[in-house]
A and B are shown apart, each in its own frame.
Chain A
Amino acid sequence: MPKLIYDFLHNTGFFLTDWRYIVMAIVGCFFVYLGSAKKYEPLLLIPIGLGIIIGNIPFFKGFGLGIYENNSVLHYLYFGVKSGIYPSIIFLGLGAMTDFSSMLAMPRLMMLGAAAQIGVFFTLLAALGLGFLPREAASIAIIGGADGPTSIFLTAKLAPHLVGPIAIAGYSYMALIPVIQPPIMRLLTSRKERLIRMPEMREVSKKEKMIFPVIAILLCCYTAPASIPLLGPFFFGNFLKECGEADRLAQSARTVIMDAATIFLGMTVGASTQADVFLTGKSIGIFALGAVAFSIATASGIIFAKIMNLFLKQRINPLLGAAGVSAVPGSAREVHLMGQREDSGNYLLMHAMACNSSGVIGSACAAGLLWSFMLGS
């Protein structure tokens, strides 16, 4: 009997824990706090935060409990991340949610979504220079796209051992948009530029909205076939929404199907941050490079808008460039609020959403291109 008690106590989390598990549990609690009390991206941060807490409870190895142990429940759920299933399903739901009207009404704003991807490729160079392997560098660079599912998808394909740190870095920066983007916007634009009003948008016909996903899927996927797993479901979901004849499917895609994938993705990505795997020097490097990627992406969008203004008759408010990252709708909201702080009658939200939507397409294309570049490495 005493031996049984002794063995039992030795197998409890209290006995097996060390400072790393406690640090990660605190990080998990902080994510839950940010999501629930501060309402920063609650649909993502709450599942990830609770996942971090679950994944960092110490246990005796070899019993099929941890996410990295074969036959554990978490391991099976994590398969959806490693294989890229959850990100694809989330893209299906995103497509069924997205209204491209504003982008179709003003197609030139799409260029700002493309310009923001410059941040991705600059970070690729920085990560390679710092000594990361090409596949790891590509996975880190995609954080600049500010698209969680895209980052997870590419990392799962190229550097699965980095899924945890990259997902946490990506989602952290998305949640910190109100902190990161405004200083960059203020630094790179003058008051006069922030006051530029955008013209009202024309009405977009249903036919245009239906034709767009078909053209986009053909053009983007022919250019970067490796983006098919993301852009294929994305435009498919959008067509379901726009055609109006399959509204039941579109409704399911944007609600229950997407919600289920988000829950499992968030929880398992959180649980993958097991302290012994996560708390390494590499993770710190990833966090630092992620911040660089995100900042350069924001800045390059703004600078590109200013360059466009040199050639356009109807000037673009350069703040819109900051919405070229694909953090929907956080960055669009931030651009709108910044515009309103200068002039309460300046409504930039719909224009910013156009940049945001093109940012989603741009970052998925960038992921496809990076994946295809790495096929030989």
Chain B
Amino acid sequence: MLEFFQRILEANGWAMAALGITMDMLCLAALAIIISRVPVIIAFIEKTGKPSAEKNSTDTGAAAADVENIELPLPGEGTHKIATVYRDCAKSLGVSFPLADLYKVCREKGLPHPHLTIKSLRESGFLVPEGEGKFKWNL
């Protein structure tokens, strides 16, 4: 057993392993920190950039127009009403659809907080999995 550790020591193994693990983890940690800031930086650049700002205002305008056409449920009207609104908005998707498509459609129509709403619809059983990554309405 002593020989085992002796061989590691002679080959400078402890130092190599310690440095290797540290460097590998530091490298990926730094990468993780940097990429977690990228969306913030992009948002900042887009906000300060004139052409982007114009584009954003046009997008927001279009979205706002869409929202006006959709009858949104009032607070307290319940998840069932929200599910009905979402189902009507996403009629074009057919009977079964991936959640990503539903999210896309809802975003295009300018519905507020589609991500959280779809999550709550899933949890309350209005959206049920049909297998192979697809979901259907349960209303």
Query: Does B24 belong to the interface (CB within 8 Å)?
Result: yes
Query: Does B139 belong to the interface (CB within 8 Å)?
Result: no
Q: How far is the CA of A51 from the CA of B109 in the complex (A)?
A: 56
The answer to whether A215 and B34 have CB atoms under 8 Å apart is yes
Tell me which residues across on chain B come within 8 A of A200, comparing CB atoms.
Answer: 99, 115, 118-119
Interface SS of B by simple majority = helix
Interface positions of B from 83 to 131, Cβ below 8 Å from A? 99, 103, 115, 118-119, 129
The answer to whether A115 and B27 have CB atoms under 8 Å apart is no
Tell me which residues across on chain A come within 8 A of B74, comparing CB atoms.
Answer: none
The answer to whether A114 and B115 have CB atoms under 8 Å apart is no
Q: Given A203-B103, A207-B42, A215-B34, verify A358-B20 contact (CB < 8 Å).
A: no
Of the candidates B7, B29, B38, which one forms a contact with A128 in the assembled complex, judged by CB atoms under 8 Å apart? B7
Query: Does B25 belong to the interface (CB within 8 Å)?
Result: yes
Q: Given A129-B8, A224-B23, verify A208-B17 contact (CB < 8 Å).
A: no
The answer to whether B42 and A134 have CB atoms under 8 Å apart is no
The bracket for how many chain B residues form the interface is 35 or more
Of the candidates B4, B20, B34, which one forms a contact with A130 in the assembled complex, judged by CB atoms under 8 Å apart? B4
The answer to whether A111 and B11 have CB atoms under 8 Å apart is no
Interface positions of A from 82 to 137, Cβ below 8 Å from B? 103-104, 107-108, 110-111, 113-115, 117-118, 120-122, 124-125, 128-131, 134, 137
The answer to whether B35 and A128 have CB atoms under 8 Å apart is no
Tell me which residues across on chain B come within 8 A of A125, comparing CB atoms.
Answer: 8, 13-14, 17
The answer to whether A129 and B7 have CB atoms under 8 Å apart is yes
User: Can you list, as one digit per residue, whether each of B9-26 has a CB less than 8 Å from chain A (1) or not (0)?
Assistant: 001111011111101111
Tell me which residues across on chain B come within 8 A of A122, comparing CB atoms.
Answer: 17
Closest beta carbon of chain B to A43's beta carbon, Å: 23
Closest beta carbon of chain B to A179's beta carbon, Å: 26
Nearest to B42 among chain A residues (CB) is A207
User: Can you list, as one digit per residue, whether each of A335-377 has a CB less than 8 Å from chain B (1) or not (0)?
Assistant: 0000000000100000000000010011001100110010001
Cβ contacts A to B, 19 pairs, < 8 Å: A107-B31, A110-B31, A110-B32, A111-B28, A111-B29, A113-B28, A124-B20, A134-B13, A208-B39, A211-B42, A219-B27, A219-B30, A219-B34, A220-B31, A361-B28, A362-B24, A369-B23, A370-B20, A377-B11
